[in-house]
Amino acid sequence: MSTAFHIYQKGINLVCKNQDVQYDGVYMFTNQRGIQKTAMIMPPDKPTSWVSIYGSITISQIGKESPNGGINEMGLVVEQTTLWQTEYPTLDERPALGELQWIQYLLDTCSTVQEALNAASIIRIGQSTSKLHYLLADRHGERAIVEFLDGEMIVHRENVSFPIISNTP
Protein backbone atom coordinates (compact mmCIF):
# COMPACT_ATOMS: atom_id res chain seq x y z
CA MET A 1 0.00 0.00 0.00
CA SER A 2 1.38 3.41 -0.98
CA THR A 3 1.11 6.09 1.68
CA ALA A 4 1.85 9.82 1.69
CA PHE A 5 1.53 12.24 4.61
CA HIS A 6 2.34 15.79 5.67
CA ILE A 7 3.78 16.97 8.98
CA TYR A 8 3.87 20.66 9.90
CA GLN A 9 4.78 21.24 13.54
CA LYS A 10 7.12 23.64 15.30
CA GLY A 11 8.73 24.85 12.08
CA ILE A 12 9.13 21.36 10.63
CA ASN A 13 7.48 20.97 7.22
CA LEU A 14 7.79 17.47 5.73
CA VAL A 15 5.97 15.48 3.06
CA CYS A 16 6.80 11.78 3.10
CA LYS A 17 5.81 8.97 0.73
CA ASN A 18 6.48 5.28 0.25
CA GLN A 19 5.86 3.28 -2.90
CA ASP A 20 4.33 -0.18 -2.65
CA VAL A 21 5.25 -1.35 -6.16
CA GLN A 22 8.82 -2.30 -7.07
CA TYR A 23 10.12 -0.84 -10.31
CA ASP A 24 13.30 -1.55 -12.23
CA GLY A 25 13.81 2.16 -12.76
CA VAL A 26 12.55 5.52 -11.64
CA TYR A 27 13.32 8.82 -13.30
CA MET A 28 13.94 12.21 -11.73
CA PHE A 29 13.27 15.22 -13.94
CA THR A 30 13.97 18.91 -13.69
CA ASN A 31 11.25 21.04 -15.24
CA GLN A 32 12.11 24.55 -16.37
CA ARG A 33 10.16 27.80 -16.23
CA GLY A 34 8.77 29.43 -19.35
CA ILE A 35 7.94 26.27 -21.31
CA GLN A 36 4.71 26.12 -23.36
CA LYS A 37 2.88 22.84 -22.71
CA THR A 38 -0.24 21.12 -24.02
CA ALA A 39 -1.91 18.10 -22.46
CA MET A 40 -1.57 14.74 -24.19
CA ILE A 41 -5.26 14.01 -24.59
CA MET A 42 -7.44 12.75 -27.45
CA PRO A 43 -10.69 14.21 -28.80
CA PRO A 44 -13.43 14.79 -27.89
CA ASP A 45 -11.64 16.33 -24.89
CA LYS A 46 -10.16 19.78 -25.40
CA PRO A 47 -6.52 19.67 -24.18
CA THR A 48 -5.34 22.03 -21.47
CA SER A 49 -2.50 24.37 -22.51
CA TRP A 50 -0.26 26.38 -20.20
CA VAL A 51 3.15 27.97 -19.73
CA SER A 52 5.24 26.78 -16.80
CA ILE A 53 5.68 29.65 -14.35
CA TYR A 54 7.72 27.67 -11.81
CA GLY A 55 10.51 25.16 -12.14
CA SER A 56 10.17 21.82 -10.37
CA ILE A 57 11.71 18.45 -9.64
CA THR A 58 9.50 15.43 -10.28
CA ILE A 59 9.69 11.65 -10.01
CA SER A 60 8.15 9.30 -12.58
CA GLN A 61 8.21 5.67 -13.66
CA ILE A 62 6.66 6.66 -17.02
CA GLY A 63 8.52 9.73 -18.29
CA LYS A 64 8.74 13.49 -18.34
CA GLU A 65 5.47 15.41 -17.93
CA SER A 66 3.78 12.44 -16.20
CA PRO A 67 5.05 12.65 -12.62
CA ASN A 68 4.03 10.52 -9.68
CA GLY A 69 4.87 13.50 -7.49
CA GLY A 70 7.16 16.46 -7.10
CA ILE A 71 8.00 19.84 -5.61
CA ASN A 72 8.29 23.22 -7.30
CA GLU A 73 10.62 26.10 -6.55
CA MET A 74 7.96 27.85 -4.43
CA GLY A 75 7.65 24.83 -2.13
CA LEU A 76 4.37 23.41 -3.45
CA VAL A 77 4.34 19.60 -3.23
CA VAL A 78 1.86 17.33 -5.01
CA GLU A 79 1.84 13.59 -4.27
CA GLN A 80 -0.62 10.82 -5.11
CA THR A 81 -1.61 7.29 -4.24
CA THR A 82 -4.08 4.91 -5.83
CA LEU A 83 -7.71 5.23 -4.80
CA TRP A 84 -9.82 2.52 -6.45
CA GLN A 85 -13.07 4.40 -5.71
CA THR A 86 -11.99 7.36 -7.88
CA GLU A 87 -14.44 8.57 -10.51
CA TYR A 88 -13.16 11.61 -12.40
CA PRO A 89 -15.61 14.21 -13.80
CA THR A 90 -17.38 13.41 -17.05
CA LEU A 91 -16.82 15.34 -20.27
CA ASP A 92 -17.79 19.01 -19.96
CA GLU A 93 -16.64 22.39 -21.33
CA ARG A 94 -13.44 22.53 -19.26
CA PRO A 95 -10.11 21.69 -20.89
CA ALA A 96 -8.72 18.31 -19.82
CA LEU A 97 -5.46 16.55 -19.06
CA GLY A 98 -4.39 13.18 -17.67
CA GLU A 99 -4.26 12.31 -13.98
CA LEU A 100 -0.44 12.50 -13.87
CA GLN A 101 -0.20 15.62 -16.03
CA TRP A 102 -2.59 17.19 -13.50
CA ILE A 103 0.31 17.02 -11.02
CA GLN A 104 2.71 18.68 -13.49
CA TYR A 105 0.16 21.39 -14.32
CA LEU A 106 -0.25 22.32 -10.65
CA LEU A 107 3.52 22.34 -10.04
CA ASP A 108 4.06 24.45 -13.17
CA THR A 109 1.40 27.06 -12.45
CA CYS A 110 0.79 27.31 -8.69
CA SER A 111 2.81 28.43 -5.67
CA THR A 112 0.39 27.57 -2.84
CA VAL A 113 -2.26 25.00 -1.97
CA GLN A 114 -4.98 27.64 -2.41
CA GLU A 115 -3.74 28.53 -5.90
CA ALA A 116 -3.65 24.82 -6.77
CA LEU A 117 -7.24 24.30 -5.62
CA ASN A 118 -8.37 27.34 -7.63
CA ALA A 119 -6.53 26.05 -10.73
CA ALA A 120 -7.92 22.53 -10.28
CA SER A 121 -11.47 23.87 -10.50
CA ILE A 122 -11.01 25.25 -14.03
CA ILE A 123 -9.53 22.09 -15.60
CA ARG A 124 -10.66 18.48 -15.66
CA ILE A 125 -8.94 15.12 -15.51
CA GLY A 126 -10.00 13.12 -18.55
CA GLN A 127 -9.11 9.83 -20.24
CA SER A 128 -7.36 8.50 -17.15
CA THR A 129 -5.55 5.21 -16.86
CA SER A 130 -5.10 5.35 -13.07
CA LYS A 131 -7.49 6.06 -10.23
CA LEU A 132 -5.71 8.46 -7.87
CA HIS A 133 -6.17 10.87 -5.02
CA TYR A 134 -3.74 13.64 -4.14
CA LEU A 135 -1.96 15.28 -1.22
CA LEU A 136 -1.04 18.95 -1.66
CA ALA A 137 1.19 20.87 0.75
CA ASP A 138 3.05 24.17 0.60
CA ARG A 139 5.90 25.92 2.36
CA HIS A 140 3.48 27.82 4.63
CA GLY A 141 2.10 24.59 6.13
CA GLU A 142 -1.17 24.67 4.19
CA ARG A 143 -2.37 21.28 3.00
CA ALA A 144 -5.29 19.56 1.33
CA ILE A 145 -6.34 16.12 0.21
CA VAL A 146 -8.12 16.04 -3.15
CA GLU A 147 -10.27 13.10 -4.19
CA PHE A 148 -12.61 12.57 -7.13
CA LEU A 149 -15.68 10.66 -5.98
CA ASP A 150 -18.90 10.21 -7.95
CA GLY A 151 -17.48 12.55 -10.61
CA GLU A 152 -16.96 15.45 -8.19
CA MET A 153 -13.74 16.97 -6.84
CA ILE A 154 -13.83 16.61 -3.04
CA VAL A 155 -11.36 18.70 -1.02
CA HIS A 156 -10.51 17.73 2.55
CA ARG A 157 -8.89 20.74 4.15
CA GLU A 158 -10.57 21.80 7.36
CA ASN A 159 -9.73 19.89 10.55
CA VAL A 160 -7.04 17.83 8.82
CA SER A 161 -4.54 17.78 11.66
CA PHE A 162 -2.50 14.91 10.19
CA PRO A 163 -3.19 14.58 6.47
CA ILE A 164 -2.43 11.10 5.20
CA ILE A 165 -3.47 9.30 2.03
CA SER A 166 -3.18 5.62 1.24
CA ASN A 167 -5.21 3.36 -1.01
CA THR A 168 -8.51 4.05 0.80
CA PRO A 169 -10.79 7.14 0.94
Domain at 17, CATH number? 3.60.60.10
Name which residue leads in pLDDT, 47 or 61.
47
Q: Which helix (H) or strand (E) covers residue 144, if one does?
A: strand 143-149
Q: Among residues 66, 33, 67, 69, which one has the least CA distance to residue 52? A: 33
More confident residue, 51 or 8: 51
The number of folded domains in the chain is 1
Q: Quick check: pTM over 0.85?
A: yes
Q: What is the span of the domain harbouring residue 45? A: 3-165
Using one digit for the tens of pLDDT, what is the confidence trace for 115-157?
999 999 999 999 889 999 999 999 999 999 999 999 999 999 8
- In whole angstroms, give the CA distance from residue 124 to residue 101: 11
Question: What is the rounded distance in angstroms from the CA atom of residue 30 to the CA atom of residue 21?
Answer: 23
Output the CA torsion sign for 61, 13, 113, 34.
Answer: negative
CA 88-143-40 angle, 5° bins:
35
